[in-house]
Amino acid sequence: MAVEIIPKPKGRKKIKVSLIAIGYYLSVSLFIGVLLAYFSFYLFENNLNKRLGELSNLIAQKETREAKDLENRIFDFKDKLEDFAKLLEARKKSSQFFAFFGPLSHKRAFFSRLDLDIGGSKAELRGQTESLKTFREQMLIFAQENLIKETDLSALSIERGADNKGGVTFGLNLLLNPQIFK
């Protein structure tokens, strides 16, 4: 009689049981893990909220009225300092005109009127010379001066005396280099 050996499906059954068990434990672990993660996030969130509150308090403590006032004062002064520096840089000394103009005056010329516009660096002069020659010499002196940009003759009259000689009355507009007033 032939003996048939049929292997028991022992192994297959064991494997099936093990996979379900592994799946079971894994799913339980996963579920517990998710729960733990949630609670750790919850605790961590509480700690962070507490830290955030502390930081907000610390910041609020730093932002005192005194600090804010100091900030306003310093920024105000900074702007004022910059404006003052610009003013100082742009400052014009009107008295400098006389130191400039004196040496340019002809020895025989007389200036009877001066209107000086410091901002516009313009000088309107009225004057007299004893002759046309002197007047021309005065004009030449002005023309040779680099700090005088333009010389415009606005008026001129000659008064002849009995000896056919006479004084010259003139009006001049000078456009000056602003450096004169520095």
Partner 1 sequence: MSRLVIIILLLVLSFLFGYFFAWPKYQGLANLKNEVNNKETELVLKEDYIFQLFSISRELEKYQEEVAKINYALPAEADIPETLEFLEQACSTNGLALSGITLSPKSSVSASSENPNIKETSISFSVRGKLESFISFLRQMEESAKLFGVNSFSFGFSGGLGEAGQGNEFSFKVEMKVRSWSNVLSENNSGANLQPKQVDLNLDILKNPVLKDLKIFEGVIIPEEKGRENPFIPY
Q: Which residue shows structure tokens 């009355």? A: 169
Residue closer to partner 1 (CB basis): 80 or 136: 80
3-state helix, strand, coil in the chain (%, to 5): 60, 20, 20
**Can you read off the two tokens belonging to residue 88?**
């100082």
Strand ranges for the chain from DSSP E: 109-117, 122-129, 148-158, 168-176
Closest CA to 127 of 112, 107, 141, 139: 112
In residues, how long is the chain? 182
Residue with smaller CB distance to partner 1, 82 or 152:
82
Nearer to partner 1, 114 or 153 (CB): 114
Give the residues lining the site for partner 1 (CB under 8 A): 20-21, 23-24, 27-28, 30-31, 33-35, 37-38, 41-42, 44-45, 48-49, 51-52, 55-56, 58-59, 62-63, 67-68, 70-88, 90-95, 98, 110, 112-119, 126, 128, 130, 167
**Least gap, CB of 173 to partner 1 (angstroms):** 14
Q: How far is the CB of 6 from partner 1 (least distance, A)?
A: 28
Closest distance of CB 88 from partner 1, Å:
6
Nearest-approach distance from CB 42 to partner 1, in angstroms: 7
Using DSSP's 3-state secondary structure scheme, residue 29 falls into helix
